[in-house]
Each structure stands twice: as structure tokens, then as C-alpha cells.
Amino acid sequence: MSQILVVGSLAYDSIKTPAGSVEKTLGGSANYFSVAATVLSPVRIVGVVGDDYAAQDKKVLESRDVDLTGMKVTPGKTFHWSGFYDDNLNEAQTLKTDLNVFADFDPILPAHYKDSQFVFLANIDPTLQMKVLDQVQSPVYTGMDTMNFWIQSQKENLLKVIKKVDVLLINEGEGKMLTGCSNGIAAAQALVKMGPEAVVIKRGEYGLILNHKDQGLFVLPAFPIAEVIDPTGAGDTFAGGFFGYLSHVGTRPQFEDLKKACFVGSTVASFTVQDFGLKGIMKVNKTELENRQNQYYKLLGNRS
Amino acid sequence: MSQILVVGSLAYDSIKTPAGSVEKTLGGSANYFSVAATVLSPVRIVGVVGDDYAAQDKKVLESRDVDLTGMKVTPGKTFHWSGFYDDNLNEAQTLKTDLNVFADFDPILPAHYKDSQFVFLANIDPTLQMKVLDQVQSPVYTGMDTMNFWIQSQKENLLKVIKKVDVLLINEGEGKMLTGCSNGIAAAQALVKMGPEAVVIKRGEYGLILNHKDQGLFVLPAFPIAEVIDPTGAGDTFAGGFFGYLSHVGTRPQFEDLKKACFVGSTVASFTVQDFGLKGIMKVNKTELENRQNQYYKLLGNRS
């Protein structure tokens, strides 16, 4: 088993959904990713927080198998995102984004991070994603996420990173935006032509499309959840489960490994949406993950 | 193998999609259903057309294993639907509905139809659906579809039919409307409490949810199609493939049969959306259906 390097945001979120609301709860892609990934594999984190970042919030990652050497504390406030969901829980509406200390984030890898074999570039400025990627010596497998903001404002830099990674994880709407395709399958086909060996189109409650350059398509419905409390972090914990599984396997993933990683990621994400913020995923251990995994196989009509 | 009785519309459709348009092409739920179902099983049709219904259009069903004794020809014009789809191909926008001879449709079963074992009530006025159901002596398995118009205007009568059938096939949006649930899984769970043993929530390009009162959930992504030409009839041909398979089996379906019927229905529907009107499904024979079925299993990561 090897360690996964992740770069992303460490944040406080204020979230309102039809089920209720939370104020300044711990969030950010790197937190969500790390909590999810450590169910299966150790993580090394690169990120920045302000001096308001509570000791108990740091403990969330300290209590798991996360190397925090790369977590920088800077004078000022931690990144804060505030948003809401209406009945369409597939799409967050942003009310306010306060970058705070994240605005001057310059990701420098601690020396012992540079041999990381699995690397995930969560949704941040593509120039920073590239800067992290450039510091890693010889990764076995690399992946990234992105969002509409970077597609619109930094497309050229974004395409450079996409060209360099092995797998792109992207929401369906953003995959369509990036390719100009109005069909999700067509978008998945267009995206592998931009460089990565594989792409995962995330469709929220509807599941995902995996497209592998040489092996073709795999489609997976989401694990059915009758009451979604808060979808925040579903995509980041999907990525955590996905990379947690791949790093657990340890070798360069084949198509079958990627399919299995999709199962694990979807299972992990299904826990996330059942409670606010990190609460849903925090409770999950390996046994619970395996139990739901077996339920999931059954729901899909599979025997194993 | 037994015959399926279907009641539904026989129509001319004018359709515009991002891929092009067609004028007064053959359509209607009973036509779509019958063409799809007869790939696997004979069909008996109940419906009405005007005296403008072209001989060549009647031949579409005559050339397949469809009993047309119950197709009534009435002076006047055939039902005409005109609508369009924008980039969101999951939802049709109706421009005009001319009921014409369909307005006075009174479905009387020919005597030899009354022993039908499999019965599908396509999307028509629920009082007519009930009238057909009441004329069948001892069906093995019955199913129905409906739409927002009947939910809004005839909810009480609709609920009576839903209570009597074995399986309800319904679009996700309409399932949510009928139950007041904002979540598709929750809607599937609420719908089986209204009477039917099973419900299939149709999610267009995203696939379906099957919920069985005693056996629980099954989820299936759609067969991936990168270029959808015209989604009209996808739901009706899904129903045709679904009932075609069940009637082919011939006995009262178990949960495993319903899952398999979902696979067959989805496969059939995937052909429909690849061309305008009935063109896509008209070309399909048993061998092509089986070939795509095998491709489909592979895409889902199954071996058989």
C-alpha cells in the first residue's frame, strides 16, 4: 500500500439544504477527500488554513492516517464557502466565496512528499494543480477534478493539466461545458481525446460514466439513497474512495481496477450525502464500507 | 408464450429535435409498444384511428405479429401530437395535441381478447384504462403507464387503476409529482404503497429504478447512446420490451424476471432513440436485440 498525495482546499462551509442548515462546518475538497481515502489508504495533504482553524478541526485529520506536514497555517482567515441547495440537490448555488488565506496559496511539497505514487489534484486553480504535479518525481497514477469557474477563466492552463493526468473526474454539466457536447456519453468520449487515459463523468444521484481510452465504457448507477441530507462533498469523497482503493491496490490500475474504484467511490459518496458536512463519512469504517458494497452489488443484480 | 393485450394511442406525430424534424410520422403509444413487444411476443391491440390512417401505416403492425381486430377505424382524423425537444432531451415540450377521433374512444374488447394473460394499459385516460382492465377475465400480469395530465386532472380515477395493476411504469418527474416526493428512490418506495406489486421509475438517459414491494430495489443505468436523435417513444418501447420479455416467459414474473425485463426494455428503448419516430425500433430483430444485450452486460461489468 502506498500513500496518496492530495492538494485541495481546507475550508469552513455554511450550507443550507431542504433538510436544514449548518454554519461554518469543516469542509473543503482536501478534508473530504482525506477522510474518505483514509478508510482504505494513508494520505499526505498539501493545503493552507488561517490562524482561526480550530485545534479540534485539525484533529479530524490527525486522528486518521493523514500526514499534515504540508498543511500550512498562515495569519488570516480560513477559506469560507457559503451556499445552498433547493429541491434539485444535484447542483449547489453559491452565495459567497471568501478565499481569505487561500488567495495566496503557493503549494510547496515537503521533501518527503516528492516520491508520492498516487496523486490527486482536487478542484483548485489549474496553475497550482500543475505546480504540484511538477514537484512529484515519478507518480504511478495521477488524477484531477475541476469546475466551471476554471473552465471559463483558465481554460488554456486547465487543458495543460488535463493533458498530463491519468484520470479526470468531472461533473456531467462541467464535462459538457468543457467539450461543448450536449450528451454525457459524447462528452466522456471527447474528454479522453484531450489527454487522460480515463475519465469519470459524475452524475450525482444518477451515478457515473467511466470511459477508458482503450477499453471503452462502463456505466454505474449511484447507490440508492431515499433521503439526501446534504450533497456537499459527495464528489470529493467519491474521489477519496476512488483513489483510496487504487492506492490500496498499489500498482498502475487496469480497467478492472478503475471499475472497482468507481464502486468504492460511489459507495463512500453515498455515506457522505446522508448527513451534513463531514458527519456522514466520518462514521464509516472498513467493515461498514464492505457491508454497503455488498448491498450495492446485490442492487445491481450481481452476485459478488 | 402468450399474447399481450395493449390499449393506447395510434397517432401521427410532428417532432422537432436538435437533430432535425419529421412531419406527421407514425407514432402513438400503442404503435411504439407493439413494434417493440413483437420482437419477442405476439400482441393484441385496442385503439382507434381516423379514416385518414394510411394503408401503409396499418401494414407496419400487420407485417408483425399483431392482432388488429381491436383497431377501430372511425370517420374523422387520427390523433395528432406535435412537439419539440431542446438540448434537454429528457423532456418533450408539447406544441399541440389534437385528440380528433381519440376524443370519443370507447375501448371494447373483441371477444377473443378477453382471455389475454398479459395486459398493458399505455398512457390514456384512467377511466378507459379501467374499462379495459375490467373486460379481461383472469390476467396473469398487468401493467400501466400514465402522465402529468392525468395526475393533475383525474387523480382519483388514476389511483383506482394504480391500485389494481401489478406494475406501474412511470417517468421520474411524474412519479415525484404523484407522490409529492422530491427524491426518485423515495418516490419508488411510496408508489408500491399505492397498490402495485412493483414500480419502474424511468429516468431517461440515466436508466431506471425498479422497486418490488417484497424484494426491494434494483437500479439499472441506461444503455449508453452518444447521439440521441429523437427520444419520442422511448418509454413506450421500454414498456414493449419489458412486457414482450415477460409474455415470452409466460408465467407470473418473479423479481428476477422483472430485472431481466428491465434489461430488455432498456435495450429496446436504446434503439428507439437512435432515429426519428418508429424508424429506430422497426429495424430491430431478435439477433440484434441479443447482440446489444450482450454489449450492455459487458458495459455493466457483468460476465453473462
Tell me how far apart the alpha carbons of residues A50 and A32 are, in angstroms, rounded to a whole number: 18
**Count of residues making up chain B:** 304
Query: Which residue, chain included where needed, has cell 444521484?
Result: A205
In chain A, residues with a C-beta closer than 8 Å to the C-beta of B204 are: none
What is chain A's mean pLDDT, rounded? 96
Q: Given a cut of 70, is residue A199 above it in pLDDT?
A: yes
User: Are the beta carbons of B219 and A219 separated by less than 8 Å?
Assistant: no
Q: Given a cut of 70, is residue A303 above it in pLDDT?
A: no
Tell me how far apart the alpha carbons of residues B9 and B30 are, in angstroms, rounded to a whole number: 5
Tell me how far apart the alpha carbons of residues A242 and B87 are, in angstroms, rounded to a whole number: 31
Question: In the numeric block, which cell numbers belong to residue A46?
Answer: 498539501
pLDDT tens digits, one per residue of A228-240: 999 999 999 999 9
User: Are the beta carbons of A224 and B300 separated by less than 8 Å?
Assistant: no
In chain B, residues with a C-beta closer than 8 Å to the C-beta of A221 are: 206-207, 219-221
Tell me the Cα Rg of chain B.
18
Residue B35: burial class (beta carbons within 10 Å; 0-12, 13-18, 19+): buried
Confidence (pLDDT) at A88: 83
Residue A304: which pLDDT band, with cuts at 50, 70 and 90? very low
Q: Given a cut of 90, is residue B301 above it in pLDDT?
A: no
**Closest in A189, A224, A302 to B185, CB measured:** A224
pTM confidence score = 0.95
Confidence (pLDDT) at B88: 83
Q: Cβ atoms within 10 A of the Cβ of B112, count?
A: 12
ipTM entry: 0.92
pLDDT tens digits, one per residue of B260-272: 999 999 999 999 9
Q: Given a cut of 60, is residue B120 above it in pLDDT?
A: yes
Contacting residues for A158 by C-beta, under 8 A, at least 6 apart:
A126, A146, A150, A151, A178
For residue A176, give the chain B residue with the closest CA: B87
Tell me how far apart the alpha carbons of residues B35 and B64 are, in angstroms, rounded to a whole number: 7
User: Are the beta carbons of B217 and A224 separated by less than 8 Å?
Assistant: yes
Nearest to A49 by CA among A20, A18, A25, A70: A70
Tell me how far apart the alpha carbons of residues A227 and B21 are, in angstroms, rounded to a whole number: 40
Confidence (pLDDT) at B1: 62
**Closest in A189, A219, A228 to B300, CB measured:** A219
User: Are the beta carbons of A226 and B302 separated by less than 8 Å?
Assistant: no
Distance from CA of B151 to the nearest CA of A (A): 20
Sign, CA dihedral B40-B45-B47-B49, equals positive
In chain A, residues with a C-beta closer than 8 Å to the C-beta of B18 are: 182
Q: Given a cut of 70, is residue A1 above it in pLDDT?
A: no
**Closest in A207, A218, A299 to B218, CB measured:** A299
pLDDT tens digits, one per residue of A120-141: 999 999 999 999 999 999 999 9
| B248 within 8 A of B1, measured Cβ to Cβ | yes
Mean pLDDT, residues A272-278 = 97
Select B4-161+229-287's CATH number: 3.30.70.240, 3.40.1190.20, 3.40.720.10, 2.60.120.260. Answer: 3.40.1190.20
Tell me how far apart the alpha carbons of residues B165 and A197 are, in angstroms, rounded to a whole number: 48
In chain A, residues with a C-beta closer than 8 Å to the C-beta of B206 are: 203, 206-207, 221
Q: Given a cut of 50, is residue B304 above it in pLDDT?
A: no
According to CATH, what is the number of the domain A4-299? 3.40.1190.20
Residue A263: burial class (beta carbons within 10 Å; 0-12, 13-18, 19+): buried
Question: In the numeric block, which cell numbers belong to residue B220?
Answer: 439499472
Tell me how far apart the alpha carbons of residues B208 and A300 are, in angstroms, rounded to a whole number: 11
